[in-house]
Amino acid sequence: MVRVATHCTEADISRQHIEFARNLGMDTVGFLMMSHMITPQELAEQAKKMESYGANCIYVVDSSGAMLMQDIRDRFRALKAILNSDTQTGMHAHNNLSVSIANSLTAIEEGCDRVDTSLAGMGAGAGNTPTEVFIGCLEKQGWQHGCQLDTLINGADDVVRPLQHRPVRVDRETLSLGLAGVYSSFLLHAERASQKYGISTMDILMELGKRKMVGGQEDMIVDVALDLKNANTKQAQ
């Protein structure tokens, strides 16, 4: 299986990779990152492009953990209305607003075929949908999942959490990612810039959101930190 990821407005640049993967007979997934940044209808149009190139599954990707349940519902309904019936859909959530589980369950209610999870939520920002919690919710729903829940819970606490250099949690900084709609992987870069230039991580992230920065623009984090520092210096004078 291969995933071909693009920003949500740039499906057209995925064509050669998707076509190549399908020609190899691979399970080929189109991955529309930062899906909150365009309307459900616009996202569906981008999904249709990926499908036309040969993708057999299209993902709604909440890279910044900025969407709520109705946002997810609207996007899956838009995708289902335009994609072929045999094209699968997937959900990739981040927990910056503490709704990754709710968003993943909502996606399933709307016919989503695949859901990304990770033990202890291991992932950028406040992490991804935690596998052990997600499976626990499926169990409470009475849905068949084929997993050993106690093994997942033990694996999350005993194996994965000790590996996390920064606790995967919703705090001031990770909540800022969701509020600002900023790419979750920006967090560590913003924290480094904060330490170097003496500007709060939260202020950097919120300014990145105002400027609508997207994945691949990590170099702009330093520019934003310097702009904020210069503005603070002028105010002090």
Instruction: Over range 207-220, report the average pLDDT.
Output: 85
Sequence-separated (6 or more) residues with CB below 8 Å from residue 233: none
Interval 38-56: pLDDT, tens: 999 999 999 999 999 999 9
Backbone φ and ψ for 67, nearest 5 degrees, come out as -100, 150
Task: Confirm whether residue 183 is marked as ligand binding.
Answer: yes
Task: Confirm whether residue 63 is marked as ligand binding.
Answer: yes
Task: Confirm whether residue 92 is marked as ligand binding.
Answer: yes
- Written as one letter, the residue type at 9 is T
* Domain range 185-230, CATH architecture: Orthogonal Bundle (1.10)
Comma-separated ranges of CATH 3.20.20.70 domains in the chain? 2-160
* pLDDT reported for residue 235: 76
Tokens linked to 79 = 């995708």
pTM of the model: 0.92
Beta bridge partners of 5: 31
Task: Give the whole-angstrom CA distance, residue 90 versus residue 147.
Answer: 19
Comma-separated ranges of CATH 1.10.8.60 domains in the chain? 185-230
Interval 128-183: pLDDT, tens: 999 999 999 999 999 999 999 999 999 999 999 999 988 999 999 999 999 999 99
Between 3.20.20.70, 3.20.20.100, 3.30.1330.10, 3.30.300.30, what CATH number should domain 2-160 receive? 3.20.20.70
